[in-house]
Copies of this chain bind each other. A is one copy, B any other.
C-alpha cells in the first residue's frame, strides 16, 4: 500500500476511458441504426464485452446515449461558479450557455452535436431521458443561484428564480432547434442572443 491515492486515481482514469469508449461506440450505432433498434448486446459486442459489464458502466441504455451531456452539465456548473455573484442571473446563464456556443464553433463538433440531437428526437423514450437530465441540471443551477444570492445578503424569490432558469433553458432549446432545422441558416450565438434579449426578465432576473 505505497500510495493508495495514486492507485485509486489510476483506477478512476481507466474507468473513465472505458466509459467514453462505450459511449462513443454507442453513439455511432445509434446514429446509424437509431436508438430503439440498437440493443445493449449490440453495443457490448461492438466494444468486446458482455452485457453485464456494460451495465457496470452505465445504469441504462439512455445513460450511454446521453453521456456527453453528463460532462456538459459539469461544465455548466463550473461556468456559473466562475461568474461574479452580483451579475444578474439572466446574464450569468447567457455566459453559461457559451459552453454550447463554443462547442458549435468547430464545424466537426457541430455536426456531431446535430447527429446526437437527431437520434434523440427520433426516439420518444430517449427524448424523455434527455429532458429529465436537463431538468436535473436546471435544479442544480437553481441551487447554485439561490446560494450565491443568499451569500450576497439578498434573499431570492425562489419561484421566480426557478422560472428564470427554466426560461433561459427554453431560449437555449429554441436556439438549438433553430440550428437543427435550418442548417447554417443562422449562427447559434446570434439566435441565442436575439431570443434571450426578447425574453429578458424586466426586474431582478
Contacts and interface: CB of A to CB of B under 8 A. Distances in A.
Interface of A: 124, 127-129, 131-132, 135, 157-160, 162-167, 169-171, 173-175, 177-178, 191, 194-195, 198-205
A158 B127 CA distance: 21
22 contacts: A124-B132, A128-B128, A128-B131, A157-B194, A157-B198, A159-B175, A159-B177, A159-B191, A159-B194, A159-B195, A160-B194, A162-B177, A163-B167, A163-B174, A163-B195, A163-B198, A166-B171, A167-B170, A167-B171, A167-B199, A198-B204, A198-B205
Number of copies of this kind of chain in the complex: 2
Contact of A159 (B124, B158, B178): B178
B162 A170 contact: yes
A129 B127 CA distance: 9
Contacts of A160: 174, 194-195, 198-199
Query: Could you say which of A162, A175, A177 has the most chain B C-beta atoms within 10 Å of its C-beta?
Result: A162
